[in-house]
Structure 1
Amino acid sequence: MRVLRILLVVLAGLALTACSSKFKTYNGPEITSIQVQKANRKMYLLHNSKVIKEYDIGLGGNPVGHKEFEGDLKTPEGIYFISHRNPNSRYHLSLGISYPNEADRAHADVLGKPPGGDIMIHGGPPRKKNGKPRAVSSPDWTAGCIAVTDEEVERIYAMVKPGTPIQILP
C-alpha cells in the first residue's frame, strides 16, 4: 500500500511537470499560413483556408503603417515567413519573422536609416529580476513585434514550423 501511494505521488508530480512545460506538442492539422490583421489586432493560424486558431495580439508602439526603419516602433506589413524558433528568447519563446526583405532594406537605405530587424511573434515582456512580469502600459507595447500571452505563444510555438508564410495586413 505504501509503495502504491509513493508511486501515485511520483506520477502526479511528473504529470504536473509535464503540464507546466513551455514545450507543448500539437497533433492537429498542419498550419500552412498565418494571417495578421493589424487594424483588428487579430492573428489567425490557418490550414489552407480554414482558421484553426485565432489570437488577440499586441503590436509595435506605433502600429499604423508599414515598418520603415529601426526604432520606428511599427510592425511590418507584407508577406514574410517564419524564419526560426527561439527556445531561449527573452520573451518566453519566440518565432522569428523574415523582416527585413530586400525591398525593406532598399526603402530604409533611401531614408538613410537601418531597416531594423529581429521582428518576431513572442510572449509577454521579459520578467524582472524578482521573477515578476514587467508591466505593460498599452496593448501595443513592442518595438514592432507581434505579442501574445505566454500560454498562447507556447501553443503557437508547437503549431508553427519555420518556413510557414505569414501575411501581415494593415
Structure 2
Amino acid sequence: MKKFYILLTLIAVLAICFYQYGRATWHPLVVKVMGKKTVSEVIDEYGPDARNKLKPIFNQKGVFYPPPKLSFVAFKDTDTLEVWAANDNESYTLITSYPVKAASGELGPKLEEGDRQVPEGIYKIVGFNPNSAYHLSMKLNYPNEFDTYHANHEGRTEPGTNIFIHGKASSIGCLAMGDEAIEELFTLVHDAGRSKTTVLISPTNPSLNSLEIPVDAPEWTAELYRQIESKYRAINPLKG
C-alpha cells in the first residue's frame, strides 16, 4: 500500500510538471480538438471585463481610452511592467503597472537561441496569438534591426526568436504576466493599435539606477543602454 501511494504521488508530480512545462507539446492537441479562436473572438470574450478595469484608470489619469500613444516599459531587476500612455501632443503619463510573474535569465542583452535571456531594447508588437500555449500572447520584433546588425557583425547566426509577452507564470525568455494581466494588455494593445505601441525592456529603472554594463557583456551594450535610457527619458523625463 505504501508503494502504491508513492507511485501515485510520483504520477501526480509528473502530471503537474508536464502540465506546467510541457504546454508546447499538449496545448496544440487541445487547440486541434477544440478549434482555434480568432483575435476577434478573444476580444469579444475578454475585452469587456478588461475595458471595465482599464477605462476608469485612464479617465482618472486624464488620458483617452484607447490612448493615441502607448508604451510598455519593463524592468528586469524588479520584474515590473509599467503602462505609459499619452494623448496627441501631450507627454506620457504612468497609467498603471503589473508584476511580471516570470522572466528567465539575467541582466544583459539576449545573444542567442536557447540562452533563456529576456532581451533588452526597444521593440514593437508584431502579432497577436489568441491560441497561445500561455493563454494569450503578443509577439515582439526580436531580433530588431539593432540586434540583427550586431549578431551578423559577430557571426551569431541564431540570435533567437519568438519572444512574447504572454500569460501564465513560466518563461524561457519571454515576459510572463499571468492570465488576467495578459487579457488586459492584449485588449489594450488591440484597442490602441500595434503601430501605436512601443515596448521598452530595460535592465533597471533609469530614474532610480544607472544602467551598469554586466561583466562579459558585448562592447555594444553601452550603446544599447544609451538608446534605452534615451527612449525612457522620452517617456518619463523626470529624474528620480
Q: Does 1:168 align with 2:206?
A: no
- Matched residues in 2 for 1:122 and 1:63: separation? 19
Could you tell me how far 1:21 is from its partner in structure 2? 3.3
Deviations 1:49-107 (A, max 9, x none): 21222100045421321111111111111111111111111110101111101221233
Q: Is the 8 A contact 2:134 2:168 kept in 1?
A: yes
Match of 1:142 in 2: 171
Residue pair 1:105, 1:114 contacting (<8 A) in 2 also = no
CA distance in 2, matches of 1:55, 1:93: 16
Quote the Cα distance in structure 2 between the aligned partners of 1:74 and 1:91.
18
Alignment of 1:1-170 (within 5 A): 21-24=45-48, 26=51, 27=55, 28=58, 29=65, 30=67, 32-48=70-86, 49-109=92-152, 110-124=154-168, 141-160=170-189, 161-163=193-195, 164-170=197-203
Which digits, 9 at most, give the CA deviation of each residue in 1:96-153, with x for residues without a partner?
A: 111101221233331434011110100016xxxxxxxxxxxxxxx4121111111110
Cα separation, partners in 2 of 1:79 and 1:112, compared to 1, 3 Å: closer
Q: How many residues align?
A: 136
The alignment yields a C-alpha RMSD, in angstroms, of 2.1
Which consecutive unaligned segments of at least 5 residues does structure 1 have?
1-19, 126-140
Contact 1:38 1:59 in 2 (8 A): no
Residue equivalent to 1:137: none
Write the letter of the residue equivalent to 2:120: E
Shift of 1:23: 4.3
Please tell me the residue identity of whatever aligns with 2:70: T
**C-alpha contact 2:112 2:156 (8 A) present in aligned 1:** no
Sequence identity percentage: 34
Matching residue's letter, 2:98: Y
Runs of 4+ in 1 over 4 A off after TM superposition: none
Alignment TM-score, normalising by the size of structure 2? 0.52
TM-score (norm 1): 0.71
Contact 1:68–1:107, Cα closer than 8 Å, also in 2: no
Larger relative contact order (CA 8 Å, sep ≥ 6): 1
Gaps of 5+ in 2: 1-43, 59-64, 87-91, 204-240
Q: Which has the higher helix share?
A: 2
